[in-house]
Every structure is written in structure tokens, then in C-alpha cells.
Structure 1
């Protein structure tokens, strides 16, 4: 028997001896948790650095809501951005949300977006991390999260819409 035929017969006998081929584990599922519309002030240019063009965008307010949480975006946060020569921007946003019952929690969101030519904003996926007080909203501190960032709904008020999902 040739070597290749022996390998094929051995693999076949292992598969049939063990039963059906093991299925792949299920892919993670995303559960929508809430959506925020974050109001923005104009971008502040810091300047060219060794790593790219640095600037930041002040966060001045907004609202958020979802099935288990609702409230406002606290003014005073920011989104530091570093734009590469290729036109892609790395973002690092740090801000607070306050629930309608007065609980505040921190959001730190990292991501990268590369606008398509001629488009003012291209949707991007980001990786948020939450720091919430223990208690009613402690669930925000756990799990893997992803968010989708896109341009705001009202062109008269600069903003972004961020949809937050938890992976299961």
C-alpha cells in the first residue's frame, strides 16, 4: 500500500471510529445593549507628531438608551485621534455616561477608522470598556464588548451614534 493511501485509510478509520467529525464551536453572538448619540464640539488640532497628525474632539453631551439602561452623555469627555499619512485615524475616547437614576460610569473606547474617499465619515467598529459602580449597573464591567460608530443623525449638530453590543 502506498504511503498516501495508508494516510487516507488511517484518517478515514479515525473519523469513523470516533463517529462524526467534531463540529466547530458556535460563533459568538452579539446582544444589543444600548445606543448613544454623542454630541461633539469642533475638532481641535494639536499638530503633526512623530506618529501622525494629532487632534482631539471635545464631547459636549448627548443621550443614550437601551432595553435595560437610559440616560445622558456627560459633557467634558474627549476623543483623542491620531491620523496616519494613509488617512486612517486611531481613536481613544474617554467620557462618562449618567443613567436617568443618577449613576455615572466611565466609557473608554478604542478603534480605528479609514474614511472612504469622498465620504465625510465611514462607520467603524470599536472596543469599549466600562467602569461602573458595583450594584445595579455592575453588569457593564464584565464580558466582551464591541461597538459600531457612525455619523450622527442631525447634520445641524455634529455627533456620532454608537451602538454597544455584548458578546455571548
Structure 2
């Protein structure tokens, strides 16, 4: 049995604080295909975000250049532009993974049923980073976030937390 590395230090548990909830309305997906899995563009048609310290709209034009791997996991590659209610622009990027068990695949594939599937039945997690030149929101340039995603009618929603 190998002893723990003596260089490991206690750094405390990871804690979070709610940053905002976000809904992204999606355009019709574009199935691009590809050699590493099926790449699909889920374009952003707009949306909203609301939290205790910032709120505003998701602008059209961003999206998720997702890859569906052969094992059934969707790998996210998202870029969005957010505009706060006071006019600041935020650039938000995140990767992540969405894994659904095989017994949910038919329901998730059905546009009329997908948003009724309980999010506790699938794994949908993200790691958002936000950048801005707006002085009021410069604190966003220094934080890391974690998000939980779920499907809603017409799009996708996230609960985003700041990692402390």
C-alpha cells in the first residue's frame, strides 16, 4: 500500500454561492457530423439570466458546438454573449458534459417530451468562465463557476454558482 504524498495539504472544501439562473432559447439544431462523434450546433436565439448581483439577456448569435460521443455523452463547447440590464457586455464560455442513461434517450430525443424529463435522472454539468471590460463587473474576470443544466421548453436552463 502506498502512503499519501506528504506534499498534499488541507485546503478546505469547495463551496459555492448562487450567481444566477439562465435560460437560453435555442434555434433549430444544425447537424454537422464529424469524425470524432456527431457535432451539432445548438445556436442561441436569446434568453435571460437573473441573480442577486447581475441580470439581463442572452444575446442571439452564440451557441453550443456540441459533440455527441459514441458512449452517449454530449461534450459541450459553448460561447455566449450576455448583456446586463445596465448595458454591460459579458463573454461567457463553458465546457461540460451531459450524460443520459440509455432508457431516457427516446424521451430526450422527442421535442414534446424532453423538457418533462426529471433533471435528477441525467448528469448535465458545466464550468462557466465570464470575461468583461465593464469596470462594474470586473470581479467576474477573476472567478470560476460551476453550473447544472436542464432542458426547458424551447431551450436549456442552468443554475450557475460561483466557486468560492
Q: Report the TM-score when normalising by structure 1.
A: 0.78
2:75 corresponds to which of 90, 113, 116: 90
CA distance in 1, matches of 2:123, 2:23: 14
Q: Which runs of 5+ in 2 are unaligned?
A: 1-8, 109-113, 115-121
**Following TM superposition, where does structure 1 have runs of at least 4 consecutive aligned residues deviating by more than 6 angstroms?**
none
Map 1:151-166 to 2 at 5 A: 151-152=151-152, 155=153, 158-166=154-162
1:72 corresponds to which of 48, 53, 57: 57
Q: Which residue of 1 aligns with 2:6?
A: none
Map 1:30-109 to 2 at 5 A: 30-47=16-33, 49-109=34-94
Q: Which runs of 5+ in 1 are unaligned?
A: 1-22
CA distance in 2, matches of 1:42, 1:118: 24
Comparing 78-87 with 121-130, greater Cα deviation is found at 121-130
Number of aligned residue pairs: 141
Q: Report the TM-score when normalising by structure 2.
A: 0.80
Name the larger-Rg structure: 1
